Structure formats: structure tokens, C-alpha cells
Amino acid sequence: MIGSKISLCDADRSLALLETRLRDGEGGYVCFTNVHAAVMGRRDPRFRLVTNESFLSVADGKPVYWAGKLNGGAGIGHVPGPDFMLLAMRHFRDRRHFLYGSTPEVLSRLVPALQAEIPGLDICGTFAPPFKQLTREEKQQHYEMIRQSGADFVWVGLGAPKQEQWMADAWPFLAPSVLLGVGAAFDFHSGKTPRAPAKLRHAGLEWLYRLAQEPRRLGKRYLVTNTLFLWYTLADRLASTRNF
């Protein structure tokens, strides 16, 4: 997808792959690719390498899903990170889940919200890292804390591109845990940030709802990235047609 690999997986197939990963004890990390991440990957080869080396990278955004279908991805599914987080936690409620990211305030609201939504969910730990460049020693301390928790899944809510880079660095130290970068899911499920209505999400307009909620922070990002995504997608489509 404009240079970023998207797995030909729907939500059910993704759950099956997580089952296999846990059974085999391989560890690894999962990326949820939206328009912003795809455009960053097109413009930054280092970030593209990070997402392309994940064992699973699914279409988080509806435009990414549509573009994948247009390019012949018959098996591609629309797998939004916030939705898949709840789906996987229900499916693996007896497994141990660690929440890494956001702020202490958000985490303090997120844990009871998730346990109310999914009775019996085993949350084995939480941690909100400081908003700064972590030292090697701090990273190792965080890895050790997660290892000591016995986590099967580490849900990472640091936002792109920080969470993808963190997962790429961390997963060899945390295997057999599986890491999943779900971005704004922590804010949504804690109740900090309202989610777009289902009809808007289905129509691929969740970005418009979020823009209305946070115009100053997201205005430039959506204007630039949505335009670039459309341009790159059309340019690649035309190039493939000419080569054919």
C-alpha cells in the first residue's frame, strides 16, 4: 500500500494468527495501518521498514482498506485497532494483558472500563512512560517490568510513529509476548475521547469526526496526509497500468 505492506487478513484471521503466535512462542508485533501511517511510510523509509517487518500489519483505516481492495487484495479486511483491541481481549480474556502508554489518568480510567466491558479480563499491569526520549537503562527497566508481569499481550498506546518504533525495538526482549500498537484506542475506551458514530466509521469518515473534535491538532495532519495518500495511490495505480 503505497510502499507499506498490508496483510491479507480480516479480524478473524488475525485472531487465528495471534493464537498461532502464542502457541509457538515466537512473539512479535502488530501494526494497524491508517492513512497517516501509510503516508509516513511512503516518505520515511526507516518507518516503512519498521511497519513492514511486523508479523501482521492490518488495514486500520477505511481508505487503506478500500485502496487495498482496488489493488487486488481480495483477502484484505478492515481491522480498526480500537475494535480489534476489544475483540482480542474478549477472545483471550484468560490470557494476561499489559497496557503500555498514554497517561496515568487515562490508564486509571481505562482498566475499570475494560474490566466492566469484559468480565474476567486479566490485566496484569499498566505503565505510562514519560513523554521524553527514553535512555537505554529506562527501556531495559520497562522491558523487565513487562516480563515480570507475565504478559501474553502488550497493548501499546503511544501514537504513531513512536509506538511502532518502540515495538520494533522491544519485541525481541519481550518475546514470547505479542505487542499491538493501537494508538488512540486507550483514549477511546477510557472515555477520554469520544469515538465517531458507527455510521461515520463505516463510511470512512471517522477522520472527519476526529477533525471536528480536535481541529487545531489534527487539521494540518488530515489535510496533508489525506491529500498525499490519494495522490500516491493514484500515481501508483497509473504506474502499474503503464507497466502492464
Residue 151 near residue 142, CB atoms below 8 Å: no
Tens place of pLDDT for every residue, the chain, 244 residues?
Answer: 688 999 999 999 999 999 999 999 999 999 999 999 999 999 999 999 999 999 999 999 899 999 888 877 778 999 999 999 999 999 999 999 999 999 999 999 999 999 999 999 999 999 999 988 999 999 999 999 999 999 999 999 999 999 999 999 999 999 999 999 998 999 999 999 999 998 998 888 888 898 888 888 888 888 888 899 889 888 887 776 655 4
Where does 125-197 have alpha helices with state H? 136-149, 162-174, 185-190
Full-prediction pTM beyond 0.75? yes
Short-list 166, 206, 194, 180, CA closest to 64:
206
Helix axes 136-149, 162-174, angle to 10 degrees: 60
Residue 158 near residue 181, CB atoms below 8 Å: yes
Record the cell numbers describing residue 211, joined without a space.
477533525
In a domain, 187, yes or no: yes
In a domain, 4, yes or no: no
> Three-state SS for 185?
helix
pLDDT at 243: 53
In a domain, 89, yes or no: yes
Q: What residues make up the domain containing 126?
A: 11-243
DSSP-based helix, strand, coil % in the chain, nearest 5: 55, 15, 30
Please name the amino acid found at residue 134: L
Peptide bond into 112 cis (omega under 30): no
213-222: long-range pairs with CB below 8 Å, 24+: 221/36
Peptide bond into 161 cis (omega under 30): yes
Rounded Cα distance, 237 and 85, in Å: 32
In a domain, 65, yes or no: yes
How many separate domains does the chain show?
1
